[in-house]
Amino acid sequence: MRQCCLCGGKDLVPLFKLDSLPISHYLRKKLDDPDPRFSVGFESCKGCGLLQIVDAIPADLIYSQADTYTTGFQRPRHLEDLITTAVARRDPGSAIDVGCNDGALMEALGRAGYTKVVGLEPNAIAAEIARKKGHKVYTSFLDRKSADGIVAECGRFDALYLRHVVEHVSDLGQFFAAVRTLLNPEGLLILELPDVEEGFALGSPAILWEEHVNYFTQALAEYMLGRFGFGVLDRRKYVFGGGSFAFVAQMEAVPPSAAALPDPAPMVKMLQGFVARMQRQKEELSSLVSQARSAGYQVVMYGAAPRSCLMVSVCKIADMIDFVVDDRQDIQDRLMPGTQHFVRPLDKVAGTAGDKVLCLLGVGSENEFKVRAKLEAAIKAKFAFVSLFPPRNTLESVDGARRAIAAHK
């Protein structure tokens, strides 16, 4: 019998399904390369309220082969604050970065005074990039076996950094048992997770992802920490990249046998509203793109990251996009997953984009103003813009784009 990833409850309620989703890090090199698609169902737990994927796509399929799975280009501005919050609690000593990717956080930890920094990363390509920077990195998923091997070679760690990892994990019990294996007694866990609550409130499909098995609110994340033997010392909230929240927590000597479940009623109510609002957002965005094309607009998707792929697939607008633009050189001249469009730099698109452009802004909201200015400087056209990602309200943005299109007639 299926049970909740978090609380172990067996009363799970199917909510919705997303069909024909691509693997958003599989950017093909040729039009005839495979572009596998999946149907992904979502359910909620009546016991705790957690939204979770029904049958997760196998982790090896998602992570092991993707050669564009690097994240160092993001340069999150809040890392210094997060690390400072941790070292305010305990002097920097040894640390392990679980899900270290290409080593960007490891570099920051070294600059902050950590004396020994080790990484763990299942994607071999990203791990090798980190090694070339001089870091010691193990290539595997975190489980008890890998944790025992690391401890045998490196000893236990004073701090374990876990940024944007736990939402990918199906077996949370085994995962946190491995986390406890890696930490010294009373070691610090620095945990960061995506903030999905505003996306739920806005009905945004952009918060969903074929890789994210679990969708934590702050209350559920605190319950998870307590359930697996960690006491929260500090809390942080950040708006970068769609929003996240973080905790600095201390490992307790003995994990509690039970932690008090948060009231699931607010989460259940939020999810019920989310499904209806998401359907409206899908319909409105698809309608706008169709309207723009009928009015002679060319449609540009700026940003080919996973959330953009998700929005294109869920809203079924892949065939209505004319150009996909992204500043990342490592994904240029590759095909955006779920589409037949090669990702291009802006200068390759500027001369052919026409005099009326609808731009779908698939970038972090903190960077939208820069992208709009760049587009308007490069393309002399009448523009309408749509913000796709929380905390921006996409429905309000769609209304604004409709007004812009009407004004340009």
HEC per residue, 191-223: EEEECCHHHHHHCCHHHCCCCCCEECCHHHHHH
235 and 292 co-located in one domain? no
Residue 98 inside a domain? The answer is yes
Position with higher pLDDT, 124 vs 403:
403
If you average pLDDT over every residue of the chain, what do you get? 92
Q: What is the CATH number of the domain that holds 78?
A: 3.40.50.150
101 and 237 co-located in one domain? yes
Question: Global pTM?
Answer: 0.92
178 and 248 co-located in one domain? yes
314 and 371 co-located in one domain? yes
Note whether 386 and 299 are within 8 A (CB). no
Residue 354 inside a domain? The answer is yes
Its domain, for residue 327, covers: 286-407
396 and 250 co-located in one domain? no
* Closest C-alpha to 221, from 169, 185, 156, 182: 169
Residue 335, by phi and psi: left (phi above 0), alpha (psi -120 to 50) or beta?
beta
Residue 9 inside a domain? The answer is no
128 and 188 co-located in one domain? yes
Q: Is the pLDDT of residue 70 over 80?
A: no
Q: Tell me: the pLDDT tens digits for 142-179?
A: 999 999 999 999 999 999 999 999 999 999 999 999 99
Q: What is the CATH number of the domain that holds 390?
A: 3.40.50.720
Residue 279 inside a domain? The answer is no
Total of domains in the chain: 2
Locate tokens 């570099």: which residue?
Answer: 107
Q: Tell me: the pLDDT tens digits for 266-325?
A: 888 899 999 999 999 999 999 999 999 999 999 999 999 899 999 999 999 999 999 999
Q: What amino acid is encoded at 208 in this protein? A: L
Residue 2 inside a domain? The answer is no
- CA dist 91 and 356 (Å) reads 56
- What does the pLDDT average to over 364-370? 92
Residue 151 inside a domain? The answer is yes
241 and 300 co-located in one domain? no
130 and 204 co-located in one domain? yes
- What does the pLDDT average to over 247-271? 83
* Closest C-alpha to 93, from 69, 110, 76, 68: 110
251 and 300 co-located in one domain? no
Residue 44 inside a domain? The answer is no
